[in-house]
Amino acid sequence: MTELHDTLLTFDTHIDIPWPDQADAWSLNTDRKVDVRKCDQGKLRSVCLAAYIPQGPRDEAGHEEAWHRVQAMLKVINALGGHQDGLSANICRTAEDVRSAFRAGALAIVPAIENGHALGGVPSRIGQLAAEYGVRYLTLTHNGHNALADAAIPRKDLNDVTELHGGLSELGRETIREMNRHGVLVDVSHTAKSTMMQASELSTTPVFASHSCVRSLCDHPRNLDDEQLDRLKETDGLIQITAMGSFLRKGGGGTVEDLARHVAYVAERIGVRHVGVSSDFDGGGGIPGWQDATQTPAVTEALRNVGFGADELAAIWGGNMLRLMEKAEQASISA
- Cα–Cα dist 53/70, whole Å: 7
Written as one string, the DSSP assignment of 263-300 is HHHHHHHH-GGGEEEE--BTTT--BTTBSSGGGTHHHH
What tens digit of pLDDT does each residue of 251-308 get? 999 999 999 999 999 999 999 999 999 999 999 999 999 999 999 999 999 999 999 9
Taken in order of first residue, the domains within the chain and their CATH numbers are 9-208+225-230+307-334 (3.20.20.140)
Q: Is pLDDT at 186 greater than 70 in this prediction?
A: yes
Residues 6+ apart with CB under 8 A from 177: 123, 202
Contact 192, 152 (CB under 8 A): yes
Chain centroid, CA 169 distance in Å:
22
Structure confidence at residue 242 (pLDDT): 99
Q: What are 7-42's pLDDT values in tens digits? A: 999 999 999 999 999 889 999 889 999 999 999 999
Q: E strands of 34-141, at which residues? A: 46-52, 82-84, 87-91, 107-114, 137-139
pLDDT of amino acid 22: 87
pTM (2 decimals)? 0.98
pLDDT at 308: 99
